[in-house]
Amino acid sequence: MNGVERLDGGPRSAVVVGAGVVGLSTAWFLQERGIEVTVVDRTGVAAGASWGNAGWIAPGLAIPLNEPSVLRYGLRSLFDPAAPLHIPLTADPKLWSFLTRFAAHCRWSSWTRVAKANLPLNEESIEAYEVLTANGVDAPTVDAPITAAFTSATQAQGLVRELERLAAAGQRVDHTRLSTTDLRDQVPLTSSALAVGVRIDGQRFADPGGFVQALGRAVVARGATILSSEVTGVREDGAGVVVRTRDDTLTADVAVLATGAWLPGLAARFGVRTPVRAGRGYSFTVPVRRPVPGPVYLPEVRVACTPYRGGLRVAGTMEFRRPDAPVDEARVDAIIASVRPLLDGVSWEDRTDVWVGPRPVTPDGRALIGATRTPGVYVAGGHGMWGLAQGPVTGRLLAEQITTGKQPAALREFDPLR
């Protein structure tokens, strides 16, 4: 076993670094297997990308980022400050090295590899949520289709082709084309600019911050301690691992690094060479004059909209800047400018909860889940835009690997030492 062998065949204690959906899911499933858990996060539960994202538990739209058209789109976006993809023209050699590697993976063979790798995660993502909500995580998930809306049938055909490619890779996604009338019935907020739609069935959504906070409460109720402190180092000491924070020194049999876009800071010393960059997403909440029954996707402007506390959470942009950079109001203005012509009955000037969060992106499109070269140290991160959807199933599979010493077949493509 890549960890400490004990008389009962597995570890008894773990420190999980990171209190987002991936870290807390791992903690919960480790507890399910009898492991005593301590969770450490520098700013608390759901403080990173887990709070303000669109809240989609949508395996049917977990489409790999690295298709060839993204490369062409990215090159055009370099000189358009309002584009949904924002790459600052800065002298950051690590960023440009990452983007070069990402560009090398923007081909159909790499896209297909990611799609096939994601199959087991997508197949079990909703069921993993059901396990949590049936066993003490007091937060709802809502079963609802996601409606993609387009200005023309030609634009809609692009998404249909992507869904057909997913089906060819093994993931069948139930979807239905919608006429203009059907689209209006499904999404009462659509303006006259939107002409056709595609309804993706079998999906769910949640209040992401509320869900992760409920998950944190459940982990504590099952005996865990959650500490707010910055981790300054992790090492093996022969009898387990030592996790140093600014306030304390913790010891355990194993450590799990689940720090999202900050993962490289701790993981690189354990042989994890695949870089992780912050693909920052923005969101805000706006009042609406008509109810929104379910999530709405606007692929032409790359914006996701979700019912949220009586209003609409609007999320968009992929911005490659440092994780802790402040909100750039110009990005929020760009989202509003792109969506305003497409939706009616929205009070854009009354927006609240403006947020930016760092989604952890890898250059090859595959997450990093599993053992490092150091016995007892594991990582879980790099899910890109799909951390909320894939977080619980990631935690379940990683807990299996940690406690049995055997890598599940579903995690082979996500080996962090690749």
- Residue 374 scores a pLDDT above 50: yes
Q: What is the pLDDT of residues 247-273, one digit of tens each?
A: 999 999 999 999 999 999 999 999 999
Report the distance separating Cα 342 and Cα 335, nearest Å.
Answer: 12
Provide the pLDDT for residue 6.
Answer: 40
Spell out the residues 6+ positions from residue 123 whose beta carbon is closer than 8 angstroms to its own.
59, 171
Report the distance separating Cα 69 and Cα 239, nearest Å.
Answer: 50
Q: How far apart are the first and last CA of the chain?
A: 19
Q: What is the pLDDT of residues 346-371, one digit of tens each?
A: 999 999 999 999 999 999 999 999 99
Residue written as token pair 């049936």 = 134
pLDDT confidence band for 85 (50 / 70 / 90): confident
The predicted model scores a pTM of 0.94
Provide the pLDDT for residue 4.
Answer: 38
Proportion of the chain above pLDDT 70, given as a percent: 95
Q: Considering just the CA atoms, what is the radius of gyration of the chain in Å?
A: 21
Tokens of 36: 């005593």
Provide the pLDDT for residue 3.
Answer: 38
Cα–Cα nearest to 22, from 268, 195, 230, 261: 261
Cα–Cα nearest to 11, from 397, 376, 411: 376
pLDDT confidence band for 13 (50 / 70 / 90): very high
How many residues belong to the chain?
Answer: 418
DSSP H stretches of helix in 257-327: 263-267
CB 20 within 8 A of CB 255: no
Q: Under the phi-then-psi rule, with left for phi > 0, alpha for psi from -120 to 50, and beta for the rest, what region is 108?
A: alpha
Provide the pLDDT for residue 41.
Answer: 96
CB 52 within 8 A of CB 207: no
Hey, how many other C-beta atoms are within 10 angstroms of the C-beta on 89?
Answer: 7
Average pLDDT of span 209-228: 97
- Residue 9 scores a pLDDT above 70: no
Q: What is the 3-state secondary structure (H, E, C) of 360-390?
A: EECCCCCCEEEECCCCCEEEEECCHHHHHHH
Report the distance separating Cα 360 and Cα 367, nearest Å.
Answer: 9
Q: At what angle do helices 108-133 and 21-32 cross, to 10 degrees?
A: 60
Spell out the residues 6+ positions from residue 349 whose beta carbon is closer than 8 angstroms to its own.
none
CB 58 within 8 A of CB 122: no
Which pairs with CB-CB distance under 8 Å and at least 24 residues apart come from 174-179?
Answer: 174/60, 174/200, 174/201, 174/202, 175/60, 175/199, 175/200, 175/201, 176/201, 178/147
Provide the pLDDT for residue 351.
Answer: 97
Q: What is the pLDDT of residues 402-417, one digit of tens each?
A: 999 999 999 999 999 9
Query: Class assignment of domain 67-107+142-204+278-361?
Result: alpha beta
| Average pLDDT value for the chain | 93
- Residue 378 scores a pLDDT above 70: yes
Tokens of 48: 């990173």
CB 140 within 8 A of CB 206: yes
Provide the pLDDT for residue 74.
Answer: 62
Provide the pLDDT for residue 77.
Answer: 62
Average pLDDT of span 122-149: 97
pLDDT confidence band for 1 (50 / 70 / 90): very low
- Residue 84 scores a pLDDT above 90: no
- Residue 372 scores a pLDDT above 90: yes
Q: What is the pLDDT of residues 154-191, one digit of tens each?
A: 999 999 999 999 999 999 999 999 999 999 999 999 99
CB 417 within 8 A of CB 404: no
Q: What is the pLDDT of residues 299-341, one digit of tens each?
A: 999 999 999 999 999 999 999 999 999 999 999 999 999 999 9
In degrees, rounded to 5, the angle at the alpha carbon of residue 269 between the alpha carbons of residues 263 and 275 is: 45
Strand order across the 36-41 sheet:
225-228, 36-41, 13-17, 254-257, 377-381, 368-371
CB 55 within 8 A of CB 309: no
Q: What is the pLDDT of residues 31-68, one digit of tens each?
A: 999 999 999 999 999 888 888 899 999 999 999 999 88
Provide the pLDDT for residue 73.
Answer: 63
Provide the pLDDT for residue 5.
Answer: 41
